[in-house]
Amino acid sequence: MQAGASGRVDAVDSENTIKKDPFDFALWKAAKPEEPAWKSPWGPGRPGWHIECSAMVRDRLGETIDLHVGGSDLIFPHHENEIAQSEAATGKLLARYWLHNGMVRVEGEKMSKSLGNFITIRDLLAKYDPMAVRLFILQANYRKPLDFTDDALQATTNGWQTLKEALLFGYQLGFIPKAVSKDNGHAQRFQEAVDRDFNFAGGLAVLFEIAKELRRERNILVHEGKTVVPPRELEPLWQNLLELAGVLGLAVQPEAPTTSETAELSDAEIETLIQQRTAARQAKNFAEGDRLRDELKVQGITLIDQPGGITKWHRE
């Protein structure tokens, strides 16, 4: 801020210093040869960088706006200068709220074309599930740097798998999405979290709390044939998860049944295939036993092998 420190003015002789004050910044730049220019009382030139934004805001949105955003690298000098000139001109607040986002990094370095380390969205989505990428971004505070690394994205992919299985679980139990009637406090905690300066990570913690409970019941169902918690008690929990995940744009589509799945096996047909599998296993033909198990799985039938050679089953 010292006069002449930028090298743009000669500050050795105070009488020749163009700036009247070290804090002054350019509102109008004199035209250089072959540069775009407009006529003005100060001669041909163009607006300074900072005044452009103040002029656009005032012309299109008014003297005071609700929200002004930008990268954290714009706080000084750009946004501070916007405030100085706008509020000096109008005597009013320029913006009621300011949000400054952190920079995007790749493996610890700032993403830039000059370094050749930039990632396009197209390339990113070809490698990772779009929902996992969304989850990755939501986990970071918007004011802090966002560092894209393969390890971090893989970890987030695993986290998305937890949410995905919990979201699909309700469809597997035959639940139909509907408005939440019973909250259990989850929605309130979610809202309190995200209302604190867009603390999406706090909101996601509520989602994972619900998802892990549902996923635990799903695993019990797969291995024991029934859940510990009655489905009627699981449904409002799942509806909460579905609604709150939807607020953040995290969603799944239940897979449509294939042609083979639509022709549902009868109980007698299932028992016959289980007997064939048991006979194959007793003959140590484990490949055939696995094939029959997989065939039943495709048909939505889960097998549960128990001690004594007994095999129970249930429809998913």
**Where do the domains of the chain lie?**
14-101, 104-247, 259-315
Quote the pLDDT of residue 13: 52
Q: Domain 104-247, what architecture?
A: Orthogonal Bundle (1.10)
The answer to whether 163 touches 245, Cβ cutoff 8 Å, is yes
CA nearest neighbour of 36 among 24, 27, 28, 45 = 45
pLDDT tens per residue, range 34-65? 889 999 999 999 998 899 999 999 999 999 99
Quote the pLDDT of residue 2: 59
pLDDT tens per residue, range 22-37? 788 888 999 998 889 9
Longest Cα–Cα distance in the chain? 104
pLDDT at 9 over 60: no
Measure the CA–CA gap between 65 and 91, rounded to whole angstroms: 14
Residue 239 burial (10 A CB sphere; 0-12, 13-18, 19+):
buried
- Up-side HSE of residue 58: CA atoms within 13 Å toward CB? 18
The predicted model gives 103-113 an average pLDDT of: 84
pLDDT tens per residue, range 214-240? 999 988 887 777 889 999 899 999 999
pLDDT tens per residue, range 116-156? 888 888 989 999 999 999 999 999 999 999 999 999 999 99
Residue 77: asked if its preceding bond is cis (omega within 30°), the reply is yes
The predicted model gives 172-179 an average pLDDT of: 85
The answer to whether 1 touches 9, Cβ cutoff 8 Å, is no
pLDDT tens per residue, range 252-307? 988 665 444 446 788 888 888 998 899 888 888 888 888 888 888 878 888 888 88
Edge-first strand order for the sheet with 104-106 is: 109-110, 104-106, 146-148
What is the residue-wise DSSP string for 181-233?
---TTHHHHHHHHHTTTS-HHHHHHHHHHHHHHHHHHHHHHHHHSS-SS-HHH
DSSP designation for 271: H
